[in-house]
Amino acid sequence: MTGTIAERVEAFSHLEAPVAERFDSDEPLEGRWAVLPSAFNPPTHAHLRLLELALAVEGVEGGAALLTTRNVAKGIEGAALADRIGMLLAARESRPGLAVLAANQARIVDQAAALRAAWPEAAFDFVLGYDTLIRLFDERYYTGAMELELDPFFERHRVIVANRGEVTASGVDAYVARQASRYGGRIVTVELDEAHGGMASSEARARMAAGEGSDDVPAEVAGYIREHGLYEGG
C-alpha cells in the first residue's frame, strides 16, 4: 500500500469505474466474506454487532466493513472519508479479524462488481439493515428493468439483512415475501436486539456535536474522534 489514507481515497473516489481497496492489510481476500457497506459516520456498536451476527451465518468465513465513498440517498458530510477509515482501523484494536475496505460506488450491485474485480478469489455476502434492503429493491436506482441487474447479483451473492428501528425481524421477512420473493432463497434474516436496532450514526454525531459524547460508539472509535476533533460543533 502506497500513499496516505487520504491520498489513496482521493485517488479512486472520483473514478467512474468500480474500484475497491483494502486498508487494514496488503493481503488479498479469499474465502467467503460478509461485507457491511455503510458511510460509517461514525462506526457504531450496531455496525459491529451486525457483522458479528453475519459471521454466524452458514458459509461466512470473515467480516469486512466497506466504506462507500458515494451514497444513493445522501451526500458526504460530517467526518472526512479518510477519518472514517481511521475510525474503522481504530475499531480493529479489539476486533483484529475485521477487514477494512472502501469502494467508490453507491449502489450495492456496483459495489459487488468492484469487490469481485479487486478480489476474484473471494465470495461476498452483503450485510444490510432494513432501510438499505428497501433501497436495493427500489426501481428508481436502476436504469432498466431491475431484474436484469438483480438476477446476476443474487446468483453470485447472498444478502444478510437485519431489522432496524421499529421494524422487527418478522417484519423484514414479511417485506421479503411481499417484495422480493424472487430472491427469497438468497436472503438471510438476522435479528438485532432492541438496543442495537435503535442505534443510528446520525444520533451519535448529534450528541457528540453537542459535547455530550455517545455510548453508541466503541471506546477505540470514541478515542479517535476525540484525538482528531471530529464532529465538534456540528
pLDDT tens, position by position, 183-227: 999 999 999 998 898 888 999 998 988 888 889 999 999 999 999
Residue 149 backbone zone (phi > 0: left; psi -120 to 50: alpha; other: beta): alpha
Report whether 107 contacts 42 (CB < 8 A).
no
Phi first, then psi: what are they for 82, rounded to 5°? -60, -35
Report whether 29 contacts 22 (CB < 8 A).
yes
pLDDT tens, position by position, 64-98: 999 998 875 565 678 999 999 999 999 999 899 99
Length in residues, the chain: 234
**Spatial separation of the C-alpha atoms in residues 74 and 72, rounded to whole Å:** 6
Rg (CA), the chain: 17
Overall fold of domain 5-228: Rossmann fold (3.40.50)
The answer to whether the predicted template modeling score (pTM) of the entire model surpasses 0.85 is yes
Report whether 136 contacts 128 (CB < 8 A).
yes
Phi first, then psi: what are they for 27, rounded to 5°? -70, 140
